[in-house]
Structure 1
């Protein structure tokens, strides 16, 4: 499989080396690794190039714009995405690729790092339960830190919507109309606990919006709610 890995990055010189090391260490080697420098003012571009990534510049600040720039620039048939503060486990791409035939998108679970052992376990197994529930409800919950899309299908669906957040979830809902969107429990990615800024309750409330939110809100122009 020809897989491009895309990592959007805005001022991520501190986190980026870990993410790139994890991607380059995959058991299934990607065709290319793209870092989208999203209007960074630090050494994000220099760090990415020094570590062997292809850099694509995106001057319009916002993760949705960065993801779309990476999607358009990718040379692979499949485009996997993770975040600059995330660490895909070694068989991440391999596990996604195993379930790719016949699908248009795939996604997997996340676990926080940089927290206590019980918080790490809670984050992983709580999120796994959430993803299982969403899958049963027919509402795939793609996360930008752990997803892979068939490029042709993603472009046919219009790519990432130009919203402040939840662009990954909204694209997943659109892709579901084009073919199977599969949850891959074995494709684990570790991600920074900085997502817990403000505490667990605000974080969980944001996730609940994905469960309770009406996908028709996006198609009617109301998709800019915070993820």
Structure 2
């Protein structure tokens, strides 16, 4: 049993999940266990997990969360890992590619005294041929969202012990102790609440020991940006001011 667990929520990700699992297998620090949380998939997502687990170089578990929602699935995975003895919890998503030093950087940050850590989010280049504006603008979208987060009224409260930190759900790690103390991810759907923002603000109410860690880099999918367009993507992340007919882009 290891002290670090990686949690991967997944809904209908049979096409993207294999690359995410292969990225985890390429980590320089493979002393971790992984739990993929199937969030009511109707495709072969659970089979993909089982097939990969049979030959993986680290333990891979499959958990089930029938209540549809990224918050609910992430919380189920975190608490599954805690029940199994996890001390450190890292999360990425089933359409993302953590760099090889990701788990090592997460462990280093948490072992060094921080309770919550995050890092860079950059666009994937292997899904489809990126247009120039997509490769340039995804980092810009992240930067704009981070800047907006610092001035957003909901993120400004005298009770917060530290400044707002944008912490994408696809690239974060937290101690099990802090996760339980702050209440963890809200058990919500992605269209109801940005669960990563909610987690950060819950953390800010109990500690100021959080921050970015060098080496925690994840390459994220641009499929939402391509489907929504730039303006609507920004509006989506700004408190769901854009609400698409189809939320789960595949």
Residue of structure 1 equivalent to 2:200: 172
Residue of structure 1 equivalent to 2:176: 151
Deviations 1:6-65 (A, max 9, x none): 100111111110000001111111420110011111111111111112100111111111
Any gaps of 5 or more consecutive residues in structure 2? Answer: 54-59, 157-162, 241-246
Q: Quote how far apart the aligned CAs of 1:129 are.
A: 6.8
Residue of structure 2 equivalent to 1:97: 107
Does structure 1 conserve the Cα–Cα contact (< 8 Å) formed by 2:145 and 2:234? no
Q: Quote how far apart the aligned CAs of 1:118 are.
A: 4.8
Does structure 2 conserve the Cα–Cα contact (< 8 Å) formed by 1:172 and 1:181? no
Q: Quote how far apart the aligned CAs of 1:120 are.
A: 1.8
Residue of structure 2 equivalent to 1:181: 210
RMSD, aligned α-carbons: 2.4
Residue of structure 2 equivalent to 1:218: none
Alignment of 1:47-196 (within 5 A): 47-52=48-53, 53-74=60-81, 75=84, 76-100=86-110, 101-113=112-124, 114=128, 115-124=130-139, 127-128=142-143, 131=146, 138-165=163-190, 166-179=194-207, 180-196=209-225
| TM-score for the superposition, normalised by structure 2 | 0.76
Q: Quote how far apart the aligned CAs of 1:121 are.
A: 3.4
Q: Which moved more, 1:114-123 or 1:57-66?
A: 114-123
| SS of structure 1 residue aligned to 2:63 | strand
Kindly tell me the number of residue pairs found equivalent between the two proteins. Answer: 211
Does structure 2 conserve the Cα–Cα contact (< 8 Å) formed by 1:111 and 1:121? no
Any gaps of 5 or more consecutive residues in structure 1? Answer: 211-225
| SS of structure 1 residue aligned to 2:188 | coil
| TM-score for the superposition, normalised by structure 1 | 0.83
Q: Quote how far apart the aligned CAs of 1:185 are.
A: 4.8
Task: Give 1 or 2 for the bigger CA radius of gyration.
Answer: 2
Q: Distance in 2 between matches of 1:63 and 1:32?
A: 20
Q: Quote how far apart the aligned CAs of 1:207 are.
A: 3.4
Deviations 1:157-215 (A, max 9, x none): 112113333111101111122221212253111111112121011112233449xxxxx
| SS of structure 1 residue aligned to 2:215 | coil
Q: Quote how far apart the aligned CAs of 1:99 are.
A: 2.1
Q: Distance in 2 between matches of 1:185 and 1:119?
A: 24
